[in-house]
Amino acid sequence: MLDDLISELQKLYSKERAEHSKRFFKTGIGEYGEGDVFLGLSVPIQREFAKKYKDLSLSNLQKLLDSKIHEHRLIAGLILTQKFKKNPEEIFNFYIKNSKRFNNWDLVDLTAPKISGEFLIGKNKQILYEFARSKNIWEKRIAIISTYAFIRKTNFADTLKISEILLGDKHDLIHKAVGWMLREVGKRNEEILKDFLDINYKKIQRTTLRYAIEKFPEKERKEWLKRNF
């Protein structure tokens, strides 16, 4: 079954789309996606393959996650989100073990809320704090993006605590991720977001702030940006 999946994916290879993906996901020397290999498949197509091959074993999914090909890893992640409902603890542990294999922002964003986030609702979230302090950018992103699942349950505490840990991070992908989650908090409780910004405005990254206040009225956005200058 795994060989069939890989063969079908290879047949859809598009050099033009693959080259575009390499640029879009920053695969050049020194960039965050350095060395990543693409087939040039859209996410909707990959979702269809994930549904078709949802019964792949974890050992086969491990082979996909160990692949240099981006689409192999994303399809593995999408299959894991489907398997999670039946075996949440097993899939969570497998996901955490392979955290560094989800090594681009789309791989994290399409899996973390649905696996680590969902699993940790109502449980000890220490692993997310460990990831937030990791030297690995993708574990840091998993830490904050996982909290989207908590936000949807109107539980904001961990999002705010992990955001505070990551405010000093130097990477733009973390700035954006933190800002995105803060914005999601603000959609549900603007007062809590403003309190957080009021306390942290001196150390919050400007990109993070822009993302966080995106839904504010223009005049208010300008005031916050001026305050952060």
- The whole domain housing 215 covers 113-229
- Residue 88 lies inside a defined structural domain of this protein: no
Instruction: Tell me which residue has tokens 């999601």.
Output: 184
- Whether 128 and 78 map to the same domain: the answer is no
Q: Which of 11, 13, 36 lies closest to 24, judged by CA?
A: 36
Rounded Cα distance, 177 and 145, in Å: 7
Contacts of 209 (CB under 8 A, 6+ apart): 179, 197, 201, 224, 225, 228
17 part of a folded domain? yes
- The verdict on residue 43 lying in a domain is yes
Same domain? 78 vs 125: no
Prediction pTM value? 0.96
Contact 35, 68 (CB under 8 A): yes
Domain end call among 39, 68, 83: 83
Same domain, 135 and 199: yes
105 in a domain, yes or no?
A: no
Q: Assess if residue 99 is contained within a domain.
A: no
Query: Is residue 7 exposed (0-12), middle (13-18) or buried (19+ Cβ within 10 Å)?
Result: exposed
d(CA 112, CA 159): 14
| Cα dihedral 7, 8, 10, 11 sign | positive
Q: CA–CA separation, 76 vs 65, rounded Å?
A: 6
Taking only the tens place, the pLDDT of each residue in 189-223 is 999 999 999 999 989 999 999 999 999 999 999 99
Domain count, the chain: 2
Residues 42 and 137 in one domain: no
pLDDT string in tens for the chain (229-residue length): 999 999 999 999 999 999 999 999 999 999 999 999 999 999 999 999 999 999 999 999 999 999 999 999 999 999 999 999 999 999 999 999 999 999 999 999 999 999 999 999 999 999 999 999 999 999 999 999 999 999 999 999 999 999 999 999 999 999 999 999 999 999 999 999 999 999 999 899 999 999 999 999 999 999 999 987 6
**Residue 119 placed within a domain:** yes
For residues 73 and 150, state if they share a domain. Answer: no
Q: Which amino acid, 56?
A: L
Name the one residue in this structure whose structure tokens are 């992908």.
Answer: 173
Q: pLDDT (tens digit, 9 = 90+) per residue, 40-56? A: 999 999 999 999 999 99
Residue 4: which of 52, 65, 70 has the closest Cα? 52
Q: Do 205 and 143 share a domain, yes or no?
A: yes
